[in-house]
Structure 1
Amino acid sequence: MMEEDAICAATTNIRDEGIDLTQISLRPISLDDVDDVMAWTTDEKVARYCTWEPYTSKEEGINFIQNIASKSLWFRAICLNDRVIGCIDLSSCEGQGRNRHKSAELGYALGTRYWGKGIATHAVKQVVKAAFTEFPHLERLQALVFLENVASQRVLHKAGFQREGVFRKYEFIKGKSRDMVCYSFLSDDCPN
């Protein structure tokens, strides 16, 4: 079996096997995680729906951990058995030219090997609980998703977010104006 076939077989086995969501955790990221981070930040399929291009060097991974992640209001690595397979964060909406200090924007990325397994939905639900507990002033979480990213829209819907609508040509990303779908989750939406 050629190396490429072995990689495909391993990926298929991961896709076919169920993942125990109790093995999924959210934790702070560290420089020790850089190799795991590189596994999904170099993937064109992951970067397709993100604002960044696929990473091409370990230095970019280090910069992500040291500088980019630290600028979030709240940032966690999504881990399977303590291996980083993605990330999830909350960013303040206040710095976006609007006085929205009671709002935060949710963002996440997950390695393609783990798509379609309920991991992203599980992580988003955990973040919703954490957000309104750790930041009691928050009234609104929102997520902006590329219109063509239907899978991410399903994640948000399953996590209890409400679709608010499409913002046409809302953001200029990767050289073109992109339509974005806005989803929100309000503190009032949390079950008591």
Structure 2
Amino acid sequence: MEKYLPLNREGCITLRPFELTDLSDVMAWVADDRVAQRCWWDAFQSREDAVSFLKCSLIAHPWARAICLSGRPIGQMTFEQGSDIERYRGEMGYALAYKHWGKGIATEALKMVVSAIFCEFPEIQRIDAVIIDWNVGSQSVLEKAGFVKEGLLRKYGVKKGETVDVFVYGILAS
């Protein structure tokens, strides 16, 4: 089921599952270094790698949605529920095509997704997001969507061979 959110300047954004026919649109942002620099994956250089990413990481994902503008994917939202003792929480991830940055689209899509997650997964009590410490744009998206910055995790992950610090953000169902 598609969810719709009206935007004044750009029409409506929708959220929907990914399809193989989305490949050309997905390539526009997964192959962009400006986008990949802020994500855990590196920019895809080949169509074959992008097909694999689309099939294995987006279509096969238990909860991944395309952020669409005029029906065409311009980004992604993913949610991964924790397991065992962490089953009451989950982690949010997202990416948006560079040409759509700074227009409020990611913030509004994130608000839609948070609402949907808390409805679809009534056992979820919190949603987390981890953001590389220098990615102030994404920090702003989270804060505008109601997430709270909870702390700094030092040397949390590796990006292009370098360990990076991240901020952890959270939002509670209550």
* SS of residue matched to 2:87: coil
2:33 matched to 1:44?
Answer: yes
2:101 matched to 1:115?
Answer: yes
Normalised by the size of structure 1, how large is the TM-score?
Answer: 0.83
Aligned equivalents of 1:62 and 1:85: distance in 2? Answer: 16
- Judge conservation of contact 1:78–1:87 (CA < 8 Å) in 2: yes
- Judge conservation of contact 2:11–2:69 (CA < 8 Å) in 1: no
1:125 match? 111
C-alpha offsets along residues 26-84 of structure 1, whole Å, 9 cap, x if unaligned? 01110000000001111000000111111111112211121111453311000000011
2:14 matched to 1:25?
Answer: yes
* SS of residue matched to 2:86: coil
Aligned equivalents of 2:19 and 2:8: distance in 1? Answer: 24
Structure 2 counterpart of 1:159, from 117, 121, 145: 145
1:92/1:115 CA distance change after superposition, 3 Å: same
1:59/1:86 CA distance change after superposition, 3 Å: same
- Judge conservation of contact 1:93–1:104 (CA < 8 Å) in 2: yes
Structure 2 counterpart of 1:104, from 85, 90, 114: 90
1:81 match? 70
C-alpha offsets along residues 104-162 of structure 1, whole Å, 9 cap, x if unaligned? 10000000000000000011000001000001110110000000000000000000001
Decide which moves more: 167-176 or 65-74.
65-74
2:121 match? 135
Deviation of 1:22 after TM superposition, in Å, equals: 5.1
- Judge conservation of contact 1:90–1:107 (CA < 8 Å) in 2: yes
In structure 1, stretches of 5+ residues that fail to align are 1-17
In structure 2, stretches of 5+ residues that fail to align are 1-6
1:122/1:59 CA distance change after superposition, 3 Å: same
1:144 match? 130
2:23 match? 34
Decide which moves more: 19-28 or 29-38.
19-28
Task: Give the % identical residues.
Answer: 42
Normalised by the size of structure 2, how large is the TM-score?
Answer: 0.91
- Judge conservation of contact 1:164–1:183 (CA < 8 Å) in 2: yes
1:19/1:86 CA distance change after superposition, 3 Å: farther
- Judge conservation of contact 1:162–1:183 (CA < 8 Å) in 2: yes
AA at the equivalent of 1:86:
G
1:139/1:64 CA distance change after superposition, 3 Å: same
Decide which moves more: 18-27 or 71-80.
18-27
Decide which moves more: 120-129 or 68-77.
68-77
Runs of 4+ in 1 over 2 A off after TM superposition: 18-22, 70-73
| Structure whose residues are more often strand by fraction | 2
CA RMSD of aligned residues (A): 1.5
